[in-house]
Structure 1
Amino acid sequence: MSKILARSAARLLVLGATSVAAASAQAAPPPDMSGAGLFAQNCSACHQLTGRGIPGAFPALAGDVFPQGPPEPVVKLLLNGRGGMPSFRADLDDRQIAAVLTYVRGAWGNHAPKIEPTLVAKVRGSQAQDRAAQALQAH
């Protein structure tokens, strides 16, 4: 009889632990992978949720011509960073970079066409080829 009780208790412990793990997994919402969510997670500390930046430190994106201009330079900026801005090449994939840039280009009164992940992939790929060619020229 004690073996049966011990097995039942062990099963209850496993079921209880499984239920707690499932409840914990459900309690944490998935990260927001929309352009607005990615901007909030990766960009808003400097550029602010309003896109107004911090004068003298981080440029405003709201109403600025650069993010609304030709898409290739904007994509290159996110991939490579500049000045105090980090590179997002390793942190965000092509779809995520396209989403955050599309958000910036259409938020806060900005009016620019969306950026497709295929363009980000093309720019990322051409930069990799440029770096490889430069490495060969160094020899």
Structure 2
Amino acid sequence: MKEALIKAAMVVVAAFAAAASSPSRAQEMDGKSLFLKNCAACHQASGKGIPGAFPALAGSKFVQGKGSEVATVLLKGRGGMPDFSDSLSDRDIATVLTFVRSNWGNKAEGLSEADVGTLRTALGVDPFGNSVMSNKH
């Protein structure tokens, strides 16, 4: 049952990511909108996650830790979480992480587009394609 729930939630996340009309429109969204569109299906709008399936972001020591470590998860994926390196620009990743790191009791510094771009290069992750067809989710 738990595995079926996880698979269903991952399908929902993939559908939300694929539904993004264009990266340029996504860049105009604020952090909350980006979070709701790309992350809330698993991590919930409240940031509380789904116990046993998707970790809470609210009050998370990891989320409030090193910004580069949190950004790495979005750029490379981790566990059951897909990477968003082709579906979110460096600006979008910085925007959504700044939102997550400063909401639900979290009190961590935000990230800049340059921070994410530098990390992308250091990790050897391909540059954001800025193409609707680059969305691999």
| TM-score (norm: length of structure 1) | 0.69
Structure 1 or 2: more helix by fraction = 1
Provide the C-alpha distance between the structure 1 equivalents of 2:61 and 2:47, rounded to a whole number of angstroms.
Answer: 13
Provide the C-alpha distance between the structure 2 equivalents of 1:73 and 1:113, rounded to a whole number of angstroms.
Answer: 13
Provide the C-alpha distance between the structure 2 equivalents of 1:107 and 1:127, rounded to a whole number of angstroms.
Answer: 27
SS in 2 for 1:77: helix
Offset at residue 55 of structure 1 (A)? 0.2
Query: RMSD value over aligned CA atoms?
Result: 1.4
Deviations 1:21-74 (A, max 9, x none): xxxxxxxxx666111000000000000000000000000000010010011111
Runs of 4+ in 1 over 2 A off after TM superposition: none
Q: 1:71 aligns with which of 53, 67, 73?
A: 67
Q: Which residue of 1 aligns with 2:11?
A: none
Provide the C-alpha distance between the structure 1 equivalents of 2:124 and 2:101, rounded to a whole number of angstroms.
Answer: 25
Q: Which residue of 1 aligns with 2:56?
A: 60
Q: 1:117 aligns with which of 113, 129, 135?
A: 113
SS in 1 for 2:79: coil
| 1:88 correspondence with 2:84 | yes
Q: Which residue of 1 aligns with 2:45?
A: 49
Provide the C-alpha distance between the structure 2 equivalents of 1:101 and 1:43, rounded to a whole number of angstroms.
Answer: 11
Identity over aligned pairs, percent: 51
Give unpaired runs (5+ residues) of structure 1: 1-29, 130-139
Q: Which residue of 1 aligns with 2:21?
A: none
In the alignment of these two chains, the number of paired residues is 100
Offset at residue 91 of structure 1 (A)? 0.4
Offset at residue 97 of structure 1 (A)? 0.1
Offset at residue 107 of structure 1 (A)? 0.7
Give unpaired runs (5+ residues) of structure 2: 1-24, 126-137
